[in-house]
Structure 1
């Protein structure tokens, strides 16, 4: 168990370093900042998922993070990963990115799930911290049991639109994320 924990932390740090070392990665960071997570192979709760404490952020056209990965550091991204793992145990990593229409329209439609938060039932909305679980469950149902990599959270009043990238490990997730930079059609 300890060796797998160390392996998860090392792989997550490697991926976070790859992300922040790209000079354009700051373009992918939403106002709520970005988190990148990686779960143990038998993850059951947020303490089994490592993430970046304080998230990955940006300033002065540069991405950075302040603290090394830790287990239990993000409830938000952990819920996405654990819910995805219930559908596909190989989906052990995720990141949340800034929403761009140009990215969404550039991805093949069969590879993404568009999630409208208004689809969530009222009783589910009332449960604190339940929307991420509902969103991931909804998308896997739309995918009919197949795993895909992109979930678009269309946001809501007071909730920023984001794009989640799922994958087997954080290096794969970061590589997929950085490949999206080519679809950004803005000048910053």
Structure 2
């Protein structure tokens, strides 16, 4: 693990880039290198390096619209004496706050610390918020479940043409943005399962609606995944003491349709399936309290007889 503070990125990546950008704008206004150095609080040699293009920096800031606009305001203000150092600092601090909230600093931070991926750098913005920790735990659970699913022997035979997915909801989830899943779904390609990206909240409409239907009936059931329906899976479920719930594939609203089926049964079954309809593949949902639990059950369901 690489422990990186966002303030390090501000100092090492943001500040040199923005200083170089301001230096060039001030030079365009006709200011001398010594005058620029005085405004920026650096040496003339540093300004010379900025203007020669040898200072490095990061194009994610150079090409960022808000950063460019702020640099232009600061350079115009300093060159015309309409802005002093206090005003310039206020502009830069406001920019840093913005860039740390799902901006380039957040993007770089996630690249430096993969543990932050998918959290939108909320740790920087919201601090040690218990809700952030909960979101992180859900994302990690789905990530682990997806990897475990991909490692199940012959799992490719259970992946429908539309792909599969595994999702997990936050407690008291209300809509799809409260459910974490794999963006773009999980597909079988070349005899193996491909996981296209790390999980994100709101990434799946399909599996999320099934999960939301389940958790609305039983708040402890917060996860589910979809696979292709086949007789072996259903027979194996019965061998494990699970009576799969069959429901109609031809529905207008998956969430309300499934929720009614669960209500009528009086519980959320670990396995629910349909046999397809015109233009609809047969699909089976496997539910669990967590994404890992649902995947563990799937392992048992697809195991050879």
Provide the TM-score with structure 2 as the length reference: 0.54
Residue in 1 that maps onto 2:261: 139
Residue in 1 that maps onto 2:74: none
Note the 1:1-188 alignment, pairs <5 A: 1-108=131-238, 111-118=243-250, 120=251, 125=252, 130=253, 132-143=254-265, 145-182=266-303
Task: Give the secondary structure class of the aligned counterpart of 1:107.
Answer: helix
User: CA 1:136–1:105 in structure 2 vs 1: closer, same or farther (change >3 Å)?
Assistant: same
Mean CA deviation greater in 55-64 or 102-111: 102-111
Q: Which runs of 5+ in 1 are unaligned?
A: none
User: CA 1:139–1:81 in structure 2 vs 1: closer, same or farther (change >3 Å)?
Assistant: same
User: May I ask how many residue pairs the two structures share in their alignment?
Assistant: 173
Q: Greater relative contact order: 1 or 2 (C-alpha under 8 angstroms, separation 6 or more)?
A: 1
Q: In structure 2, how many angstroms separate the alpha carbons of the residues matched to 1:84 and 1:134?
A: 10
Q: Which has the higher strand share?
A: 1
Larger radius of gyration, structure 1 or 2? Answer: 2
Task: Give the secondary structure class of the aligned counterpart of 1:43.
Answer: coil
Residue in 1 that maps onto 2:60: none
Mean CA deviation greater in 5-14 or 107-116: 107-116
Q: In structure 1, how many angstroms separate the alpha carbons of the residues matched to 2:272 and 2:257?
A: 8
Q: CA deviation at 1:59?
A: 1.3
Task: Give the secondary structure class of the aligned counterpart of 1:80.
Answer: helix
Q: Deviations over 1:137-176 (max 9, x none)?
A: 2321342x23320111221100000110011001110011
Q: In structure 2, how many angstroms separate the alpha carbons of the residues matched to 1:32 and 1:183?
A: 24
Task: Give the secondary structure class of the aligned counterpart of 1:44.
Answer: coil
Q: After TM superposition, which residue ranges in structure 1, 4 or more long, deviate above 6 angstroms? A: none
Residue in 1 that maps onto 2:51: none
User: CA 1:135–1:102 in structure 2 vs 1: closer, same or farther (change >3 Å)?
Assistant: farther
Q: In structure 2, how many angstroms separate the alpha carbons of the residues matched to 1:183 and 1:111?
A: 19
Given that residues 217 and 263 in structure 2 are in contact (C-alpha distance below 8 angstroms), is that contact kept between their aligned partners in structure 1? no
Given that residues 106 and 183 in structure 1 are in contact (C-alpha distance below 8 angstroms), is that contact kept between their aligned partners in structure 2? no
Q: In structure 2, how many angstroms separate the alpha carbons of the residues matched to 1:82 and 1:7?
A: 18
Q: Deviations over 1:97-133 (max 9, x none)?
A: 0111222234328621111235x5xxxx3xxxx1x11
Q: CA deviation at 1:183?
A: 5.2
